[in-house]
A and B are shown apart, each in its own frame.
Chain A
Amino acid sequence: MKTRYSFGGDEHIFVECDEEMSLEAFFKGMSITSALREAKIKGVTEICPANASFQVRFDPDVISPDDMMAELKKLEAVAQSAAPTLQTRIIEVPVLYNDPWTHETLMRFRERHQDPTSTDIEYTARINNLDGVDGFVKAHSGAPWFVSMVGFVAGLPFLYQMVDRKRQIQSPKYLRPRTDTPRLTVGHGGCFACIYSVRGAGGYQMFGITPMPIYDPNQTVPYLRDFMCLFSPGDIVKWKPIDRAEYDHTVAEVDAGRWMPRIAPVTFSLTEFQKDIDGTNARIMEALNGH
């Protein structure tokens, strides 16, 4: 893993922790950005962690670009000694896989897809050697996912599957991006899952939809009253497959302001995870079940 620094114009520094995605690269970025936040350097205006990289926005009238760069490189050396442990939370996200709304949309944009004759789930199941839609749902919802970035649009989480690399689901993005994606679509591109927080353009494969709002600019949803976005980097997600009846019921409960997501605090240690992936996941998911 070699860290690469680059200026993004006169107001940003872009730091790539690694070219390829891994939880190690994410943790390296997180420890540097945490150290940077604590260092409270004058002139730093925004700190944006991403999957295997991060970005710092600064005011060059307050701190010169070269000084800002030097500060970051100093922090990299300090941050490398930090233990890769995270006090975080696991959030259960109900998903109606193969739902009618994403189905309607994917049919509408079929000519932009790699395989116009099948659906996004069928295609992704096939190229990942999974046993059809059922096999896909089992693989997708069997292990937890790690929120390694929030962004693109307001509150949209990118999620990294917490299994060893050879079992990670991978799929290309659409050949040409769609101009429409239903709000709360569960999508996938490269090795990342995402939840589209708002309706709009998108290029990820579409697998299903969640009834659970994750972004509410009006802050009327009870669990989004403190802040309008649900997810932060470091959150862990467990998908829960649901049927249409439960989906409709959940939507009604959400609309009535009664529904709350299942969330439990957990500690995540990268070292423990690397030693025993399935054991660590089982322990994390137990926290949710004991809730």
Chain B
Amino acid sequence: MAINVIKPGLSTTVQDLGRPGYYHIGIPTSGGMDTLSLAAANLLVGNAAGDAVLEAVFMGPELEFTADATVAVTGADMPPKVDGEERAGWTSFRVKKGQVLSFGFLKAGARAYIAVSGGIDVPVVLGSRSTYTLGVLGGFKGRKLEAGDQLPVGAGKAVAEGRTLPENLRRKPGMPAELRMLPGLYWHRITEAAGRNFFEDTWKVAPEADRIGYRFKAGRPLEFVDREQPFGAGSDPSNIVDACYPYGSVQVPGGTEPIVLHRDAVSGGGYFMVGTVVSADMDLIGQLQPHTPTRFVKVTMQEALQARHDRKAVLDAITAALV
């Protein structure tokens, strides 16, 4: 079976849980930005949690099905429609041969996950079906979908329509969004006052927010501790000798606009970083729209590990509810 792409949406890519293991040569993990929603979508249609789905940002695609399939849409609130008739999100529904799946306007969140029973069956590259657009690697021809593409779909299990995920297991960013961050890396490069301001200020998601990284603005510029720049670093006080960037690390080029690196991260570079968003909050970033007010919340390692534990408990509860 296959899916014909009638309209691709704004930037729709094939994603699974990613390809770890190649970051040391600059190939990032990729994979769904909101992995909890991705896993839930898969489980709703009887797939394995890490099967390949479509990740649609801000605007959904229009897809024609060449055979019957079970579908679920999770993540952003962007109502799915079958031949124009609305279906519930976070709930499995049937799409029959020849029917068209489309989407209404985005109401909340940023990325919808569209799982199809059997999974999107593009070739596995370096252990994953995820798209890494910058490297033209994986996914469907290494790029976002275009009209006329024909997506292969694997053989699915038969599952019931109307399977739904309880409301309390649908994790969404708050308002303002709060991203827990462990200070570190080159935190010592900014003054104490700048460090306080960083956590006090309410930032706003900038338009330049994508799978590589999310940029934030509207906070006060960071003031640097004076130093003579080390050899090889470059002359700007925000420059360092090019180093690795952790996933979730928060770099602040020029001390003005923080960028949180995400699943398609550039693996390294020459900008200092003030810390790292905890792994538990990475999913939430994928659901932030431009202009969303956002605060960085300072946490300790112990709190970061507790957050990780809590997120794992949510995933376990989702799995228990759907398997």
**Inter-chain contacts of B176 with A (CB < 8 A):** none
Q: Evaluate contact between A154 and B21: CB separation under 8 angstroms.
A: no
Q: State which of B25, B138, B266, B278 has its C-beta within 8 Å of the C-beta of A9.
A: B278
* A46 CA to B232 CA, complexed, in Å: 26
Instruction: Judge if B147 is at the interface, Cβ distance under 8 Å.
Output: no
**Inter-chain contacts of A278 with B (CB < 8 A):** none
Q: State which of B21, B25, B273, B279 has its C-beta within 8 Å of the C-beta of A45.
A: B21
Instruction: Judge if B239 is at the interface, Cβ distance under 8 Å.
Output: yes
- Distance between B127 CB and nearest chain A CB, rounded to angstroms: 13
**Inter-chain contacts of A156 with B (CB < 8 A):** 26
Q: Evaluate contact between B301 and A10: CB separation under 8 angstroms.
A: yes
Q: Evaluate contact between A12 and B247: CB separation under 8 angstroms.
A: yes
* A198 CA to B136 CA, complexed, in Å: 9
Instruction: Judge if B20 is at the interface, Cβ distance under 8 Å.
Output: yes
Check A190/B20 contact, CB under 8 A, given A10-B305, A11-B247: no
Most buried by B among A18, A152, A192: A152
From 40 to 55 in chain A, residues with beta carbon under 8 angstroms from any chain B beta carbon are 45-55
Q: State which of B134, B187, B234 has its C-beta within 8 Å of the C-beta of A173.
A: B234
**Inter-chain contacts of B275 with A (CB < 8 A):** 9
Q: Evaluate contact between A152 and B239: CB separation under 8 angstroms.
A: no
Q: Mark A146-169, 1 if CB is under 8 A from B, else 0.
A: 000111111110101000010000
**Inter-chain contacts of A165 with B (CB < 8 A):** 231
From 283 to 312 in chain B, residues with beta carbon under 8 angstroms from any chain A beta carbon are 301, 304-305, 307-308, 312
* A18 CA to B231 CA, complexed, in Å: 10
Instruction: Judge if A21 is at the interface, Cβ distance under 8 Å.
Output: yes
Q: Evaluate contact between B246 and A8: CB separation under 8 angstroms.
A: yes
Q: Evaluate contact between A10 and B304: CB separation under 8 angstroms.
A: yes
Q: Mark A189-213, 1 if CB is under 8 A from B, else 0.
A: 1111000011010000000000000
**Secondary structure class of chain B's binding surface, majority of residues:** mixed
Instruction: Judge if B98 is at the interface, Cβ distance under 8 Å.
Output: no
**Inter-chain contacts of B231 with A (CB < 8 A):** 20-22, 165, 191
**Inter-chain contacts of B242 with A (CB < 8 A):** 50-51, 149, 152, 158, 190, 192
Instruction: Judge if B191 is at the interface, Cβ distance under 8 Å.
Output: no
**Inter-chain contacts of A173 with B (CB < 8 A):** 234, 239, 270
Check A47/B24 contact, CB under 8 A, given A53-B243, A149-B268, A190-B242: yes
* A22 CA to B312 CA, complexed, in Å: 42
Q: Evaluate contact between A189 and B26: CB separation under 8 angstroms.
A: no
From 11 to 67 in chain A, residues with beta carbon under 8 angstroms from any chain B beta carbon are 11-12, 14, 16, 18-22, 45-55, 57, 60-61, 65
* A152 CA to B228 CA, complexed, in Å: 25
Q: Evaluate contact between B266 and A152: CB separation under 8 angstroms.
A: yes
**Inter-chain contacts of B67 with A (CB < 8 A):** none
Q: Evaluate contact between B270 and A190: CB separation under 8 angstroms.
A: yes
Check A55/B246 contact, CB under 8 A, given A10-B308, A189-B234: yes
* A160 CA to B184 CA, complexed, in Å: 27
Instruction: Judge if A215 is at the interface, Cβ distance under 8 Å.
Output: yes
Instruction: Judge if A125 is at the interface, Cβ distance under 8 Å.
Output: no
* A12 CA to B267 CA, complexed, in Å: 13
* A14 CA to B243 CA, complexed, in Å: 9
Q: State which of B268, B305, B307 has its C-beta within 8 Å of the C-beta of A151.
A: B268
Instruction: Judge if A6 is at the interface, Cβ distance under 8 Å.
Output: yes
Instruction: Judge if B156 is at the interface, Cβ distance under 8 Å.
Output: no
* A19 CA to B231 CA, complexed, in Å: 8
**Inter-chain contacts of B230 with A (CB < 8 A):** 18-21
- Distance between B11 CB and nearest chain A CB, rounded to angstroms: 16
Instruction: Judge if A232 is at the interface, Cβ distance under 8 Å.
Output: yes
- Distance between A218 CB and nearest chain B CB, rounded to angstroms: 8
Instruction: Judge if A229 is at the interface, Cβ distance under 8 Å.
Output: yes
* A232 CA to B25 CA, complexed, in Å: 7
- Distance between B68 CB and nearest chain A CB, rounded to angstroms: 34
* A6 CA to B275 CA, complexed, in Å: 9
**Inter-chain contacts of B138 with A (CB < 8 A):** 217
Q: Mark B228-272, 1 if CB is under 8 A from A, else 0.
A: 001111111001111110111100000000000000001111100
Q: Evaluate contact between B25 and A151: CB separation under 8 angstroms.
A: yes
Q: Evaluate contact between A60 and B308: CB separation under 8 angstroms.
A: yes
Most buried by B among A60, A154, A158: A154
Q: State which of A16, A154, A192 has its C-beta within 8 Å of the C-beta of B134.
A: A154
**Inter-chain contacts of A12 with B (CB < 8 A):** 246-247, 249, 276
Q: Evaluate contact between A154 and B232: CB separation under 8 angstroms.
A: no
- Distance between B144 CB and nearest chain A CB, rounded to angstroms: 15
| Seed contacts A14-B185, A156-B26, A191-B232; 4 additional CB < 8 Å A-B pairs | A8-B246, A11-B279, A21-B230, A151-B26
